[in-house]
Chain A
Amino acid sequence: MTMPDDSADLIVDGAGPPPPIRRLVPGGAPTIVLPPPPGTITAPNGAGGTGPTVERRVSALPAAQVAERMRTEELRIAYGGKEAVKGVSLPVRRGEVLALIGPSGCGKTTLLRSLNRLTELTPTATRTGRIVLDDQDVDTLEVTDLRRRVSMVFQQPNPFPMSVFDNVAYALREQGSRKPRKGALMEPVTEALRRAGLLTEVQDNLDHPALRLSGGQQQRLCIARALAADPEVLLLDEPCSALDPKSTATIEELIVRLREEVAIVIVTHNLQQAHRVADKVGFMYLGDLVEYGDGDRIFSAPREERTADYVAGAFG
């Protein structure tokens, strides 16, 4: 398949001057709100409006390549008496990246964690409503099976204290065992590393401790680890917030590339990131799914006032 033309706009290089802070205003072009540092002289032909706009990395895939994998129906999650997610119904599709945005504490991470029943680790959490994976209620699945099919990557890179190889192989091996041995797993492990775009960097050092890798490499290793068991859905909880801009760009590219193979849900605080990678965007506020739709439309023409305020930076 061919890459669309606008892939030339990929921000790959983290070097050079940092990009100015942009806020997306509803219905208009992004404006630059970076105040000049005190003491600097504003050039007559200042950067206002001439800087690069936030671009989608690639355009949406053709509808034929999009297929629904997961769905929530009237999902409600409460911690103790406090409801964190209030009746959210959402589709999760392969071929699309779904970004959940919203202010801190709006329930987006709770929603994400409920998709592979990680919320059950919190003793006070209760859930009602259905979550469906390929027409099966996730409650009817063995939780270990569900989590192999709906895998997750966390905010902090968290490789295990073992070699690069063993980190990826961990997902493929029987529960607590070290079998099968290395030879039998070499192929799936290298495949997962290749899909995560890490193979060329680590193929000579598969035995090195994973904790020696850089932060960005560690996060891609976590993605490789999550991809190893060939999941249907990949959940990303602010995967770039602990990373530098260059690693962030690499991972964003990776996310867009992976959407053809696996359904991706990403929670992010970074609106530009959501705009760059997401096909669909869900805006959550105080536990409600306020608005859901195409990413371009949510950012350029939100229908709800709360969405408009948020994407304009009102909530911060």
Chain B
Amino acid sequence: MADAPALPPTARTKPVESSRNWPLMDRLMLACCWVAGVSACVIAFAIVAYMAYRGLEFLRPALFIERPNADLDQSKSGGFLDPLLGTLILTVMGTALAIPVAVATAVWVTEYGRPFWLARAVESGVEIIAGTPSIVLAIFGLIVFQEQLLGFLSFEAEGGSVFGRSFFTAAAMMSLIALPLIVGSTREGLQSIPGHVREASYALGKTKAATIRRVLLPSLRAPIATGTALGMGRIAGDTAIVVILLGGTLQLQGYGDVPGLDVLRGTGSTLTSYVYLNSPAGEGSAPEKAYAAAVVLLAIAIALNFLVDWIVRRDPTKAVTAAARR
């Protein structure tokens, strides 16, 4: 060969493309994106840091085990044991109600979805629930659960009218807060399972029901858990339903004489309503307790977030999904 082959272009010293040669507009845009991204980080850290700074100052172990009292003397007004328990009970009940309904909805819409118009109607229904402000859900719940027929879920006030406020009724409405999140992640999980996996099951002589139960549902553990953890965060963070449908009583006030059930038929409060009550805006006016409770609430929310990350990372069926996306 006579001609010497052209030399390859000299290797860039930096592996990252430099924006130095970009037009000014592009560089400004890039800077804006960069600032926006970083500020999201800064705001998140600021919230956590400030709440930790204000809250940890007032956070004492005793607050976790003392029952709250309505007392103007803050040394006697106790801790937030009851609201903490309230948050836990409500979160567990709400998600326990939401999971079966949400998974069934997602499976029906994704795997059956006939007739088509009904499936679309169900989808919009779920979207409407997701978009409804929780205070509207709360008022709606109050109307429904004050029906005489549903009196067993709460209790009758003096004069025979149904009170409508209890852990049962609040959890029922809270489940609607978690429902769209679980439906969404379950549907995403189902859609990521390639069609030939279902067909492989049919090709072994299995019915659709058997396929859903033994092949699809086991693949959905991670998506369902993710949606549930997100839903728990939303339930733990909601205030409107607690104030309106849980009664917002400082202590758990049972009703009835069946142990356990009495608490669920009775009223109570959660960390959110406790924070509201004790904040400078509320009646309790004990900001230090509000800060302490708020930091606990924030810690719960962050823990749930990490839980979601962890579930997604250790998903054993990720191989299937990865193969499907190839």
> Is the CB–CB distance between A176 and B213 below 8 Å?
yes
Interfacial chain B residues near A175, Cβ < 8 Å: 206-207, 209-210
> Is the CB–CB distance between B319 and A211 below 8 Å?
yes
Interfacial chain A residues near B219, Cβ < 8 Å: 161
Asked if A171 is an interface residue, CB under 8 A from chain B, the answer is yes
* CB-contact partner of B196 in A143, A154, A209, under 8 A: A154
> Is the CB–CB distance between A152 and B207 below 8 Å?
no
Interfacial chain A residues near B215, Cβ < 8 Å: 160-161
> Is the CB–CB distance between B213 and A171 below 8 Å?
no
> Is the CB–CB distance between A162 and B218 below 8 Å?
yes
Interfacial chain A residues near B323, Cβ < 8 Å: 156
Asked if A170 is an interface residue, CB under 8 A from chain B, the answer is yes
> Is the CB–CB distance between A118 and B316 below 8 Å?
no
B:96-115 near A, CB below 8 Å:
none
Q: Which of A15-23, A221-229, A303-311 contacts B (4 or more CB under 8 A)?
A: A221-229
Asked if A148 is an interface residue, CB under 8 A from chain B, the answer is yes
Consensus secondary structure, chain B interface: helix
Q: Which of B31-39, B197-205, B257-265 contacts A (4 or more CB under 8 A)?
A: B197-205
Contact indicator per residue, chain B 192-232, by CB within 8 Å of chain A (1) or not (0): 00101101111111110110011100110000000000000
> Is the CB–CB distance between A176 and B204 below 8 Å?
no
Closest to A148 in B: B205
Asked if A145 is an interface residue, CB under 8 A from chain B, the answer is yes
Interface size class for chain B?
20 to 34
Interface centre among A151, A160, A226 (most CB of B within 10 A): A160
> Is the CB–CB distance between A147 and B316 below 8 Å?
no
- Bound state CA distance, A143 and B206, in angstroms? 9
Asked if A116 is an interface residue, CB under 8 A from chain B, the answer is yes
> Is the CB–CB distance between A144 and B205 below 8 Å?
yes
Asked if B42 is an interface residue, CB under 8 A from chain A, the answer is no
Contacts A156-B323, A160-B215; is A176 near B200 (CB within 8 Å)? no
Asked if A121 is an interface residue, CB under 8 A from chain B, the answer is yes
Asked if A31 is an interface residue, CB under 8 A from chain B, the answer is no
Closest to B208 in A: A121
- Bound state CA distance, A54 and B203, in angstroms? 33
- Bound state CA distance, A158 and B215, in angstroms? 11
- Bound state CA distance, A225 and B202, in angstroms? 12
- Bound state CA distance, A151 and B199, in angstroms? 11
Contact indicator per residue, chain A 151-182, by CB within 8 Å of chain B (1) or not (0): 11011101011100000001100011010000
A:202-228 near B, CB below 8 Å:
209, 211-212, 222, 225-226
Interface size class for chain A?
20 to 34
- Bound state CA distance, A209 and B218, in angstroms? 12
> Is the CB–CB distance between A158 and B200 below 8 Å?
yes
Distance in Å: Cβ of B94 to nearest Cβ of chain A: 28
Closest to B198 in A: A121
Interfacial chain B residues near A161, Cβ < 8 Å: 215, 218-219, 316-317, 320
- Bound state CA distance, A225 and B319, in angstroms? 19
Interfacial chain B residues near A156, Cβ < 8 Å: 194, 196, 323
> Is the CB–CB distance between A154 and B199 below 8 Å?
yes
Interfacial chain A residues near B209, Cβ < 8 Å: 175-176
Contacts A175-B207, A209-B316, A211-B319; is A160 near B202 (CB within 8 Å)? no
Contacts A161-B317, A211-B317; is A170 near B205 (CB within 8 Å)? no
Contacts A160-B214, A211-B320; is A147 near B196 (CB within 8 Å)? no
B:173-200 near A, CB below 8 Å:
194, 196-197, 199-200
Interfacial chain B residues near A225, Cβ < 8 Å: 200, 204
Distance in Å: Cβ of B322 to nearest Cβ of chain A: 10
Interfacial chain A residues near B203, Cβ < 8 Å: 116, 118, 147, 151-152, 154, 226, 235
Interfacial chain A residues near B316, Cβ < 8 Å: 161, 209, 211
- Excluding A154-B199, A158-B320, A176-B210, 13 further A-B contacts by CB distance (< 8 Å) are A151-B203, A151-B205, A152-B199, A154-B200, A156-B194, A158-B197, A160-B197, A161-B320, A176-B207, A211-B320, A225-B200, A225-B204, A235-B203
Interface residues of B (CB under 8 A from A): 194, 196-197, 199-207, 209-210, 213-215, 218-219, 316-317, 319-320, 323
Could you jot down 28 A-B contacts, CB within 8 Å? Answer: A116-B203, A118-B199, A118-B203, A144-B206, A146-B205, A147-B204, A148-B205, A154-B196, A155-B196, A156-B323, A158-B196, A158-B197, A158-B200, A158-B320, A160-B197, A161-B219, A161-B316, A161-B320, A162-B214, A170-B204, A171-B205, A175-B209, A175-B210, A176-B209, A176-B214, A211-B317, A212-B319, A235-B203
Q: When A and B form their complex, which 7 residue pairs have the shortest distance between CB atoms, in order from nearest? A: A148-B205, A152-B203, A176-B210, A175-B210, A147-B205, A144-B205, A211-B319
